[in-house]
Amino acid sequence: MPVKQIHLAAHFPGVNNTTVWSDPGSGSQIDFGSFVHLARTAERGKFDFFFLAEGLRLREMKGRIHDLDVAGRPESLTVLSALSGVTARLGLAATVNSTFNEPYEVARRLATLDHLSGGRAAWNVVTSWDAFTGENFRRGGYLAEADRYNRAREFLGTARELWDSWSGGDLVADPASGTFARPDAGAFAHRGPQFDIAGRFNAPRPPQGRPVIIQAGDSAEGREFAAAEADVIFSRHGTLEDGRAFYKDVKSRLAKYGRRPDELKIMPSVTYVLGDTEEDAAERAADIRRAQVTPQGALAYLEGFWGRDLSGYDPDGPLPDVEPDLGEGVSKGRAQFRGDRSETVRRWRALAAERGLTIRELVIEATGRQTFVGTPRSVADQIDEFVRTDAADGFVLVPHLTPTGLDDLVEHVVPLLQEKGVFRADYTGPTLRDHLGLEAP
Amino acid sequence: MTELHLAAALNDAGWHPAAWRDPSARPSALFTAGYWGDLAAEAERGLLDFVTIEDALGPPAPPGGVTARLDAVLIAARLAPATSRIGLVPATVVPHTEPFHVSIGIASLDHASRGRAGWRPDAAPAHHAHAPHFGRRDLPDAALLGEAAEFAEVVRRLWDSWEDDAEIRDTATGRFLDREKLHYIDFEGEHLRVRGPSITPRPPQGQPPVTVLADDVAGYELAARAADVVLVAPRSRGDAVTVVAQVREAERTVERTGEPLRVLGDLVVFLDAVPGAAHARLARLDGLARAAFDAEVFTGTPGDLADLLLDWREAGLDGFRLRPGVLPADLAAITRELVPILRGRGAFRESYGTATLRGHLGLPRPANRYAVSDPGRRP
Ligand SMILES: Cc1cc2nc3c(=O)[nH]c(=O)nc-3n(C[C@H](O)[C@H](O)[C@H](O)COP(=O)(O)O)c2cc1C
């Protein structure tokens, strides 16, 4: 049996609280040159794909625009289309929301990217449904939370009908006979509770047949949606134990849709820090954590859980003595914490008391260290172990620096994975489906 | 003599519905990056101000013609790294799209091209036919212009919703942004409501030039309110005099301030060096498919076209957008034959003197409508 191969993707850092903007080496999150640098680095490393996240409204805290983290990003598909001109093999994955869009336009734009890139497009289908984001859209069209996957499922199903409305031979382009396309090319009719549309789709069948589908959502509905529909699942389960449980759970859901386990690749999002020695790497990792969690950022993070203004507290002092306000919350525009906030606060108080942690130290502790920390050799071994022992099929790597954060990994870790024979030495086909080992639909 | 502004309108295989059947066409390459890259390179070789790219959310032609078309903003984005000076002006369809997505798409094109993006909101009634693709109720034609005006206003406000210096990276206070320099746009119109601010920082040009195609007073007034460039379709020199006067009148009616509209005349062109050849080519294509153009059609030699352009310019036009009848042949005739003739007559640039589309059009970078003009506060 051939050795299980690792799949790797590069997440453009940019907008989140893990990107360190205060580092002198931190570049622009919006200049096209930054996107070119990271994409070319990923392609030099023979990565499967380059990934862009999406957030359609600037985050707010306490009713005001959140000003502590990197903000400001481009429209994903536009930048990916531009990047298709400076890369040749790298897959190009766009996060596109299924609530604030229409299937005809999204299917057509993804088909366009697939045509222009020669078969390298992927779509991360996300389902943010909140009214806060809806205020930026004409149809205001937000959903009840319970409907988010109904709409997503029907949206994706409709997009598939649109891509399938052209078959490979429909584009005739024969000047002599005057037939440009077969007469019924593009004809579609979809009647459902979310969409009632019919007519002609105007993008010929994409080179990959259909773009690669990625899903990122963690609830039971999200997992079921991925098992039924997705080619890749982008998860947050970055520990061995957690990863194995998630992997087993998701893969076991595939059979009832008539799918084999290898038809869905599980790729957790992970962070990493390299060093010359283990100690050096650990020290760098701690420095990066401190840069990621600034004093002001630590307070803002706690405010998200306390649900109230904590600006009077010293981030280098003890945890707030006031009780959390479990009302509506003060943070908007980011994935909401769905757990029990008062239980979390209780746990943190205990942890802080036991270890004598300040607010900032507590937040550094609570938001977790990097997934892989070590020498290039040990990081390569950890990556290999995760994949070999079915905690993942690969990873979406999230660098902490824009745009050079992937350089060292590509230079020092990828060659070790290639040496082990667990990662491609070169691309074997032109399309993203080829890289992921997925069959054409 | 001031120089003409010249643009080429790219669409499918050319503007004649049978263009794809011309022996020089590349019909099976229409959906490849290579095809579009070659067209843009040709236009840039001719030092044209910009290319426009058409869009439609349904088949652009009836069965028999070219019934597929890729997304214009994404084509323009693909062309950005393949070119270095030419402006890239995609169309988007007004009634079936979201202004928020369009605004960040054009802003992103401007970032990716380092200041060469433009935009043409397209509210032509022809797009009504595609409403069933969106399950949207049919709109009366009159409402479309109103929606287009609101749409353009939302897009423009979103571009200004980040001031140029909103990103501060102030380590002392831990702030990446100065939130005082980000602005809700709070647009509430008859058709649209959008809160903002944008998620994309202000485009390098501040405001990428907005282009509106218009052929009546209502259209000129929309252009005078919302656009930097108006594309008009005079049928003769005398008609051009009338149209330019109507555009200037529309500017006064809506009390436009700042730069006057750049007025470009649209012409469909079939060009051949041999007299009579272009006309015969058009007749042959007309035999294959009937054409109905919403602009004057020119057939003749590049020299004759140069004469016509210089004559019509006297009517007050700032330049022309030429729609090649067949691609790539009529585009190459523009860049390789027409342009050198115009240059020989001192009417077209010898080289790009500017690097942005606003620069090519002689438009200064605009102030931000939301910026406080207190000189003590801002540089
Ligand atoms: C790893 C990961 C990355 C995500 N990235 C995005 C994103 O870029 N944009 C977005 O709107 N939602 C994003 N989401 C949110 C999900 O798509 C989904 O809308 C949300 O998790 C709710 O679904 P759930 O209840 O199944 O978790 C992400 C989720 C995960 C787990």
- Minimal C-alpha gap between A197 and chain B (Å): 5
Domain that holds residue B268: 5-124+204-360
In a domain, B333, yes or no: yes
CB contact residues (below 8 A), chain B span 140-169, against chain A: 162, 167, 169
CA distance B339 to B351: 12
Give me the helices (H) in B169-260, please. 217-226, 237-253
Q: Considering only A141-155, B241-255, B272-286, which range has the smallest mean pLDDT?
A: A141-155
Given a cut of 50, whether residue B360 has pLDDT beyond it is: yes
Domain assignment present for residue B93? The answer is yes
Q: Is residue B369 part of a domain?
A: no
The reply to whether A199 touches chain B by the CB within 8 Å rule is yes
Q: How far is the CA of A126 from the centre of ligand 1 (A)?
A: 6
Q: Are A87 and A94 in contact (CB under 8 A)?
A: no
The conformational region for residue A427 under phi > 0 = left, psi -120 to 50 = alpha, else beta, is beta
Residue B171 maps to a domain: no
Mutate to test the pocket of ligand 1, among A126, A156, A270, A334 (most ligand atoms within 8 A of CB): A126
Encode pLDDT of A173-205 as tens digits. Answer: 999 999 999 999 999 999 999 999 999 999 999
Cβ distance of A69 and B176 shorter than 8 Å? yes
Pocket residues: Cβ below 6 A from ligand 1: A 53-55, 95, 97, 126-128, 216-219, 221-222, 234-236, 269, 335
More confident residue, B212 or A338: B212
Asked if the structure places residue B142 within a domain, the reply is no
Q: Which residues in chain B belong to E strands, given as ranges?
A: 5-10, 50-53, 87-93, 120-122, 167-170, 175-177, 187-188, 193-194, 211-213, 229-232, 262-271, 296-300, 319-324
The total number of structural domains in chain B stands at 1
Task: Kindly state whether residue B295 falls inside one of the protein's structural domains.
Answer: yes
Say if B213 falls within a structural domain.
Answer: yes
pLDDT of B379 higher than 70: no
Phi and psi torsions of B208, nearest 5°: -60, 140
Q: How many CB atoms lie within 10 A of CB A13?
A: 26
pLDDT band at B377; cut points 50, 70, 90: very low
In this structure, what token pair is assigned to residue A44?
A: 């030099």
Work out the percent of chain B whose per-residue pLDDT is above 90. 90
Distance CA B80, CA A85 (A): 8
| Partner residue opposite B100 with nearest CB, options A105, A108, A137 | A137
pLDDT in tens, A340-373: 888 899 999 999 999 999 999 999 999 888 999 9
User: Can you give the pLDDT at residue B182?
Assistant: 98
- Name the pLDDT band for A339 (thresholds 50, 70, 90): confident
Tokens of B275: 């007299």
| Burial per residue of A106-118, b for 16 or more beta-carbon CB atoms within 10 angstroms, e otherwise | bbbbbbbbbbbbb
- Taking residues A8-19, what's their average pLDDT? 89
pLDDT tens digits, A66-85: 999 999 999 999 999 999 99
A81/B74 touch (CB, cutoff 8 Å), yes or no: yes
- The whole-angstrom separation of Cα B112 and Cα A81 is 10
**Predicted confidence (pLDDT) at residue A325 exceeds the cutoff of 90:** no
Query: A239 CA distance to ligand 1 centroid (A)?
Result: 19
C-alpha torsion sign, points A337, A288, A377, A2? positive
- Interface A:B, Cβ pairs < 8 A: 221
pLDDT at A331: 84
Q: What pLDDT, on the 0 to 100 scale, is given for residue A15?
A: 83
- Phi, psi torsion values for B359, nearest 5 degrees: -60, -45
Q: Inform me whether the pLDDT recorded for B376 exceeds 60.
A: no
Q: What phi and psi, each to the nearest 5 degrees, are found at residue B316?
A: 110, 10
CB B58 within 8 A of CB A202: yes
Q: CA A97, CA A105: separation in Å to the nearest integer?
A: 12
Q: Which of B63, B68, B193 sits opposite A204 (nearest CB)?
A: B68
Q: Does A314 touch chain B (CB under 8 A)?
A: no
Is-contact A403 A35, C-beta < 8 A? Answer: yes
Of B77, B169, B200, the CB nearest to A73: B200
Radius of gyration of the CA atoms of chain B, in A: 21
What CATH number does residue B25 fall under? 3.20.20.30
- Residue B378 scores a pLDDT above 60: no
Q: Which of A215, A225, A213, A264 is nearest to A110 (CA)?
A: A213
Looking at residue A337, its pLDDT comes to 65
Average pLDDT over residues B124-128: 88
What is the Å distance from ligand 1's center to A347 Cα? 26
Q: Cis link prior to B197 (omega < 30° from 0)?
A: yes
CA of A394 to the centre of ligand 1 (A): 18
Q: According to the annotation, is B71 in a ligand binding site?
A: no
Q: Specify the pTM.
A: 0.97
B158-202: pLDDT as tens digits: 999 999 999 999 999 999 999 999 999 999 999 899 999 999 999
User: Which of the two residues, B129 and A334, has the higher pLDDT score?
Assistant: B129
Mean of per-residue pLDDT scores for chain B:
95
Pocket test of ligand 1: the residue of A51, A218, A225, A271 to mutate, having most ligand atoms within 8 Å of its CB, is A218
Q: Is the pLDDT assigned to residue A54 strictly greater than 70?
A: yes
From 3.90.650.10, 3.90.1150.10, 3.30.70.270, 3.20.20.30, which CATH number describes the A7-276+371-436 domain?
3.20.20.30
Q: Which residues of B touch A57 (CB under 8 A)?
A: 195, 199
Interface contact flag, A180 B192, Cβ < 8 Å: no
What is the average pLDDT across A269-289?
A: 97
Distance CA B35, CA B66 (A): 15
Domain boundaries, chain A: 7-276+371-436, 294-366
Burial class (CB in 10 A: 0-12, 13-18, 19+), B376: exposed
Structure tokens, A23:
């580092």
ipTM of the modeled complex:
0.97
